[in-house]
C-alpha cells in the first residue's frame, strides 16, 4: 500500500516535470542600453526521439477519436436519427482527412529525424501537433452532435374531439334485420 502511494506520487511529479519540459535558461538581466529580446520561443525543446514518440502518441490518440466517432455514427444509425447521423458523419470525414495528413507528417518526421534535418523535423512535428488538436476538437464536436431528441418535434399527433351528442353508431347503415311479428287479427270462428 505504501509502495503504491510512493509510485503514484513519483509518477505525478515526474509527469508534471515532463509536461513543463526543460527549464528555460534564465534570462540575462537587461543591461543598460542593450535591446530586450521580446521574441517568442517557438522552437520545441524535445529531442528527436521524444518527437517521434510523441507523434506516435498523437497518432494513437487520433485513432481513438476516430473509433469513438464511428461508435457514435453506428448509434445514430441504429436510432435512425438522421439529423445526428449527418452531423457525426461529417466529423468522421474530417477526422479521416486529418489522420491522413497526420500519417504523412509522421512519415516525413521520421525521414527528417533520419536525415537529421532539424528544420523539417520541427515543421512536421508542429503540423502534427496542429492536426492532432483539430482531431481532438472534431471529436468533441461529434460528442455534442444534437439529434432528434432536442430538435425533432415528434410524430404528428392529431386530437379529435367528437361532440358527445353525435351517436356512436353509424346511422348510415341499413336497418338491422328483423321482421315484426304481431298477434294475427281475428280471421274467422276457426281462430276463436
> How big is the site for other proteins, counted in residues (CB under 8 A)?
30
User: Which residues have a Cβ under 8 Å from the Cβ of 122 and sit 6 or more positions away?
Assistant: 43, 44
Interface with other proteins, residue 158, by CB under 8 A: no
User: How many other C-beta atoms are found inside a 10 Å radius of the C-beta of residue 26?
Assistant: 6
The H or E element spanning position 183 is: none
Rule CB under 8 A: which of 163-182 touch other proteins? Answer: 163-182
CB of 41 or CB of 183, closer to other proteins = 183
Interface with other proteins, residue 161, by CB under 8 A: no
Alpha carbon distance 106, 60 (integer Å): 12
- Least separation in angstroms between CB 157 and other proteins: 21
Residue 185 binds other proteins (CB under 8 A): yes
Residue 191 in contact with other proteins, rule: CB under 8 A: yes
Question: What's the farthest any 2 CA atoms get from each other in the chain?
Answer: 153
| 187 makes contact with other proteins (CB under 8 A) | yes
Tell me whether residue 159 or residue 186 sits nearer to other proteins (CB atom). Answer: 186
- Spatial distance between the Cα atoms of 8 and 10, rounded to a whole number of angstroms: 5
Residues that bind other proteins (CB under 8 A): 163-192
Amino acid at each position: 500500500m505504501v509502495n503504491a502511494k510512493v509510485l503514484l506520487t513519483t509518477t505525478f511529479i515526474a509527469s508534471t516535470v515532463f509536461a513543463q519540459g526543460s527549464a528555460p535558461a534564465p534570462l540575462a538581466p537587461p543591461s543598460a542600453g542593450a535591446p530586450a529580446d521580446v521574441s517568442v520561443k517557438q522552437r520545441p525543446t524535445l529531442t528527436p526521439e521524444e518527437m517521434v514518440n510523441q507523434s506516435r502518441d498523437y497518432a494513437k490518440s487520433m485513432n481513438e477519436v476516430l473509433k469513438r466517432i464511428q461508435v457514435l455514427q453506428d448509434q445514430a444509425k441504429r436510432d435512425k436519427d438522421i439529423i445526428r447521423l449527418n452531423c457525426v458523419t461529417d466529423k468522421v470525414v474530417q477526422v479521416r482527412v486529418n489522420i491522413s495528413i497526420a500519417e504523412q507528417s509522421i512519415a516525413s518526421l521520421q525521414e527528417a529525424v533520419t536525415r537529421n534535418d532539424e528544420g523539417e523535423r520541427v515543421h512536421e512535428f508542429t503540423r502534427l501537433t496542429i492536426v492532432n488538436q483539430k482531431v481532438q476538437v472534431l471529436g468533441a464536436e461529434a460528442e455534442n452532435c444534437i439529434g432528434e431528441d432536442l430538435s425533432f418535434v415528434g410524430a404528428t399527433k392529431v386530437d379529435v374531439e367528437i361532440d358527445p351528442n353525435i351517436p356512436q353508431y353509424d346511422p348510415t347503415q341499413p336497418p338491422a334485420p328483423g321482421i315484426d311479428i304481431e298477434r294475427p287479427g281475428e280471421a274467422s270462428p276457426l281462430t276463436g
